[in-house]
Structure 1
Amino acid sequence: MKKQCYIRGFGAYVPEKVLTNLDLEKMVDTSDEWIKTRTGIEQRHIVAEGQSTSDLTAHAAKAALADAKMDREELSHILVATCTPDAYCPNTACITEDKLGLKGRMALDVNAACSGFVYGLKMASALAHTEDDANILLCGGETMSSRTNWEDRNTCVLFGDGAGAVVISATPTEDSTKIVDIELSSDGSLCELLTIRGGGSSLPYKVGQQVPEEHFIMMQGREVFKHAVRSMVSVCTTVMERNGLTPDDIDILIPHQANMRIIEAVGKKLTIDSERVYVNVDKVGNTSAASIPIALGQAKAAGTLEPGKNILLTTFGGGFTWGAALLRT
């Protein structure tokens, strides 16, 4: 029989600085109405000067530990899902570990773009299944503003910065959330539709070279939309059917907060009414791998994750990568 694992604490953090659509009107050829109509986004949070992804994950981690009523010394592993790390080396998980005042833990970054947190959930579950005393910190953190082309009105209106975190264990507590099932997938043949290529080994920089557009997010929005909706609906259906559930059994759907059009299309195709679809994209924008854990942390703080609920997570990101996870409170 497969061992179970549980989420014992949730946390979320967004930077203090808020960038509204009205602010963007002064920076690029766009308007508040144009942005809200096409994306549903009203504002996003942006890091302060000198603030990095590890600063965000450390804040979210402390919130998750407090929610779990757990001391930081009890952590055995630290995983950070991100596509905007502090540096290529060392990994952001090691820097997060240091900012938490810890040493000696397994520390690893996971990069599956916007799907990174759900991919990390699978990795953390596997670790919890093999180590009975494991307490795994899984963070999703991004500083998307550092890789946003603020002259490209099609992408700069979408993204924000932030982090979310959970603490996962093989040992349940009275109010822990069970990780019931996870399904993941990918298709690398479509990688050029959503990418940040600049600076990688396929497009390296030379000293003194001017930073090109490839350093920033490049996306073919219409194609991404089609693949995102189709893939998230398919993977959610797989998870529900495998666990004997119908859309009526899902109490809360928490999709990756890419934009309102994608969120609404996924809910509609799954026949999950809007009252059961969690949305915070209007206030935080698309925070990539931080999207779902921020939503979970904010939902927990608001009292939305009541006992006895079936929670379905679904995501889609560059790679392409996608997945779904079923939780039960």
Structure 2
Amino acid sequence: MSQSPVSLIDVSSYLPGEPIPADYYAQFAESDELRGNLMFRAPAFRHHVAADESAVDMIERAAQGLIERHGQDVIENIDVLITHTQLPDSPFYGAGGGIAHRLGMQPSTVLDLHNGGCAAFILGLNVARQLLAAGAGRSALIAIAQNSAGQVFEQPAVRAKSQAAVPGDGAAVGLVTVSDTSPVLDIECRTYGQFAGDMTYTADPPRKWWQPGPGAGYIAFTEGKITKVLARGNRQVPEVAQTVAHRLGLSPTDIGLLVTNQPNRIFLRNWREALELPESRHFDTFDECGNLFGAGIPINLDRAIAQQRVKAGDVVMMAAFAHAGDFAGAAAIRWGGRQP
């Protein structure tokens, strides 16, 4: 018996606050050994979550576009809720329960994912497709919140570092249903366990993340680590995208739009060149939003649809890698068009 087709029928997104220009960070910048590294060339703008804004708040705001287009009842009747929050509001549990309550949902399955990182939307889509195809329900909501820019990188002791000017905050949701409206054609997810733990969170003086202390926490980048991350990211994202394309019999000319995570301009350029795609078919918002981590793919897909950069019938290839290269994924859908 063939499986029922599963579709990503719509996405909706939210950016908090007013755009923050690069000049804001320039006034705090101090000299450090990574100041000139290409990884940390700042975007023109980014957004920051408000001090009193939770991940649940962000997802609720991101979901409004879906509610407007599909109705409140579609959201309330979701069977499967899959969430990822870059910086959980509580260290003990994810945002799934709070999101379900805020949106009036009573899903039979709630999963809070954390290992997907910048590829969390693809991981969530893979889990949603498997659950729905197996009969776990008729619809799923994938909810991604990136909220670390305004909370970690805006700390006074961190914002002077070269890494602080790159991240931006935002949230997005994706609606997945058992239908052939906008079918998921194929997905590839790979875990590279040998790289797990290569991205580390540290403080000065060093301590465990949960221990009290005088220094603010930040990501422990070094030139050596950056070299490894660049090599892994440059290889992994094209590999998973090409794997999906090969299984589907697609050539570069068959891909209508490529949507990736957006750590920096170097990765964006290298990925489209490796996949032999012109810049016009690789959509990003790096200069408007910075590095959006896991929210990057669904936010960019939402923007691309709104700007008519993708049309009904186009193949959309989504691809990303996470952390220091411990996870990567790609997914292809045939976009069916957005309801007005």
Q: Structure 1 length as normaliser, TM-score?
A: 0.88
In structure 1, distance between residues paired with 2:197 and 2:208: 13
2:161 to 153, 156, 175: 153
User: Structure 1 pair 178/166, CA: closer, same or farther in 2 (3 Å)?
Assistant: same
CA deviation vs aligned residue, 1:254-295 (integer Å, no higher than 9, x gap): 111111110110100111111111011110111111110111
Aligned length: 318
Task: Give the structure 1 partner of residue 192 of structure 2.
Answer: 187
Task: Report the CA distance between 1:35 and its aligned residue.
Answer: 9.4
Point out the more displaced range, 101-110 or 231-240: 101-110
Structure-to-structure mapping, 1:243-262, within 5 angstroms: 243-262=248-267
1:322 to 321, 328, 339: 328
SS at match of 1:271: coil
| 1:165 is aligned to 2:173 | yes
In structure 1, distance between residues paired with 2:307 and 2:72: 20
Structure 1 residue ranges without an equivalent (≥5):
none
Asked whether the 8 Å contact 2:42–2:166 carries over to 1, the reply is no
Task: Give the structure 1 partner of residue 62 of structure 2.
Answer: 60
Task: Report the CA distance between 1:102 and its aligned residue.
Answer: 3.1
Cα RMSD over matched residues? Answer: 2.5
Task: Give the structure 1 partner of residue 148 of structure 2.
Answer: 144
User: Structure 1 pair 210/278, CA: closer, same or farther in 2 (3 Å)?
Assistant: same
Structure 2 residue ranges without an equivalent (≥5):
336-340
1:216 to 215, 218, 221: 218
Task: Give the structure 2 partner of residue 78 of structure 1.
Answer: 81
Task: Report the CA distance between 1:104 and its aligned residue.
Answer: 5.2
Task: Report the CA distance between 1:69 and its aligned residue.
Answer: 4.2
Task: Give the structure 2 partner of residue 263 of structure 1.
Answer: 268
| 1:9 is aligned to 2:13 | no
Task: Report the CA distance between 1:37 and its aligned residue.
Answer: 9.7
In structure 2, distance between residues paired with 1:35 and 1:23: 19
Task: Report the CA distance between 1:56 and its aligned residue.
Answer: 1.1
| 1:120 is aligned to 2:111 | no
Q: Percent identity?
A: 22
Point out the more displaced range, 296-305 or 120-129: 296-305
- Larger proportion of helix: 1
User: Structure 1 segments of 4 or more deviating over 6 A?
Assistant: 33-37
CA deviation vs aligned residue, 1:95-131 (integer Å, no higher than 9, x gap): 1112213345422211121111111110111111122
Amino acid corresponding to residue 95 of structure 1 in structure 2: G
SS at match of 2:90: coil
Amino acid corresponding to residue 99 of structure 1 in structure 2: R
Task: Report the CA distance between 1:197 and its aligned residue.
Answer: 6.6
In structure 1, distance between residues paired with 2:214 and 2:306: 41
In structure 2, distance between residues paired with 1:39 and 1:312: 26
In structure 2, distance between residues paired with 1:37 and 1:323: 21
SS at match of 2:189: strand
CA deviation vs aligned residue, 1:177-202 (integer Å, no higher than 9, x gap): 2111100112122234323378xxx9
In structure 1, distance between residues paired with 2:52 and 2:96: 18
| 1:301 is aligned to 2:301 | no
Amino acid corresponding to residue 24 of structure 2 in structure 1: D
SS at match of 2:63: helix
1:109 to 106, 109, 112: 112
In structure 1, distance between residues paired with 2:197 and 2:93: 27
Asked whether the 8 Å contact 1:147–1:217 carries over to 2, the reply is no
User: Structure 1 pair 169/101, CA: closer, same or farther in 2 (3 Å)?
Assistant: same
Task: Give the structure 1 partner of residue 286 of structure 2.
Answer: 281
Point out the more displaced range, 12-21 or 81-90: 81-90
SS at match of 1:144: coil
Asked whether the 8 Å contact 1:12–1:64 carries over to 2, the reply is no
Task: Report the CA distance between 1:166 and its aligned residue.
Answer: 0.8
In structure 2, distance between residues paired with 1:84 and 1:126: 26
Point out the more displaced range, 113-122 or 140-149: 140-149
Task: Give the structure 1 partner of residue 338 of structure 2.
Answer: none
In structure 2, distance between residues paired with 1:196 and 1:22: 26
Amino acid corresponding to residue 22 of structure 1 in structure 2: D
CA deviation vs aligned residue, 1:138-166 (integer Å, no higher than 9, x gap): 01111022233624533112101101111
SS at match of 2:174: strand
Q: Structure 2 length as normaliser, TM-score?
A: 0.86
